[in-house]
């Protein structure tokens, strides 16, 4: 038996995201007052995605608890829809976008933090909040993937969805630059147009790779667990 029920973990993770979002929005930074506000940053969009996803997880748990043993077919049908939405969100948004934000942020930060997170931001964003936005996302989503099986959509529809999200965000970043004359991320100012095209193309490919990684990881975790359960059952059958 798990030390902490997965339902309790989801509530705790949801509350942590709500706290992070509230603290982040309360910070008075110049970038929040410019065109696009917080919504031009993928980190903020990812936090909203994670909060909505875990909100759906908690709602699914509550609905499952309320419909258990009720025999109401309509309620069970609605629960299945909610579970399908939860699984789709993890596969298409929560996992690939969350892992992308963590990986890309820390890789660029390690190379030259001024390119992605200038030291000036330390005056506005405390260290714990930075880790809440750029670090804990990864263990939280891995915990969710480990505690519950998620049915992935067809590969073609899943990849089409994550491509749509990636291209949509790239177009949004370009539009913000068109309106303000400034790039959302400092490092984009220091590379040429050709390099930007390569970077944007690479990020879309990476998003697709992370979608496939999530699909493989989900299958591996639950196929392994199923095999272990079958092994435990063998002595009983014999």
Element (H, E) at 153: none
Cα–Cα separations (whole angstroms), residue 35 to 117, 172, 183, 213: 19, 11, 11, 35
Half-sphere exposure of 209 (CA within 13 A, CB side): 9
| Cα gap 66→28, rounded to integer Å | 42
Residue 233 has pLDDT above 50, yes or no: yes
| Cα gap 146→168, rounded to integer Å | 30
| Cα gap 165→155, rounded to integer Å | 15
Give the rounded distance of the alpha carbon of 28 from its chain centre. Answer: 25
Retrieve residue 76's tokens: 């069970």
pLDDT in tens, 132-179: 999 999 999 999 999 888 999 999 999 999 999 999 999 999 999 999
pTM to 2 decimal places: 0.89
Contact indicator for 143, 9 with CB cutoff of 8 Å = yes
On average, the pLDDT of the chain sits at 89
- Band (pLDDT 50/70/90 cuts) for residue 231 is low
SS3 state at 192: coil
| Cα gap 34→101, rounded to integer Å | 22
Residue 59 has pLDDT above 90, yes or no: yes
Lowest mean pLDDT: which of 53-57, 146-150, 171-175, 209-213? 146-150
């Amino acid at each position: 038996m798990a030390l902490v029920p997965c339902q309790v973990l989801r509530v705790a993770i949801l509350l942590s995201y709500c706290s992070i979002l509230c603290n982040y929005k309360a910070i008075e930074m110049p970038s929040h007052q410019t065109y696009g506000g917080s919504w031009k940053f993928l980190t903020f969009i990812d936090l909203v995605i994670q909060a909505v996803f875990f909100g759906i997880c908690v709602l699914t748990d509550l609905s499952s608890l309320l419909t258990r043993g009720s025999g109401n077919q309509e309620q069970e049908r609605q629960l299945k829809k909610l579970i399908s939405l939860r699984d789709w969100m993890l596969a298409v948004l929560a996992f690939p976008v969350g892992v992308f934000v963590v990986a890309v942020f820390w890789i660029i930060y390690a190379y030259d933090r001024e390119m992605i997170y200038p030291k000036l931001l330390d005056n506005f964003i405390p260290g714990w909040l930075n880790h809440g936005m750029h670090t804990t996302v990864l263990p939280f989503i891995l915990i969710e993937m480990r505690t519950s099986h998620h049915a992935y959509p067809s590969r073609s529809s899943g990849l089409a969805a994550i491509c749509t999200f990636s291209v949509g965000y790239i177009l949004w970043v370009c539009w913000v630059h068109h309106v303000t004359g400034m790039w959302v991320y400092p490092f984009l100012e220091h590379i040429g147009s050709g390099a930007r095209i390569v970077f944007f193309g690479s990020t879309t490919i990476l998003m697709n790779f992370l979608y496939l990684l999530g699909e493989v990881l989900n299958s591996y975790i639950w196929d392994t667990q199923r095999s272990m359960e079958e092994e435990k059952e063998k002595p009983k059958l014999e």
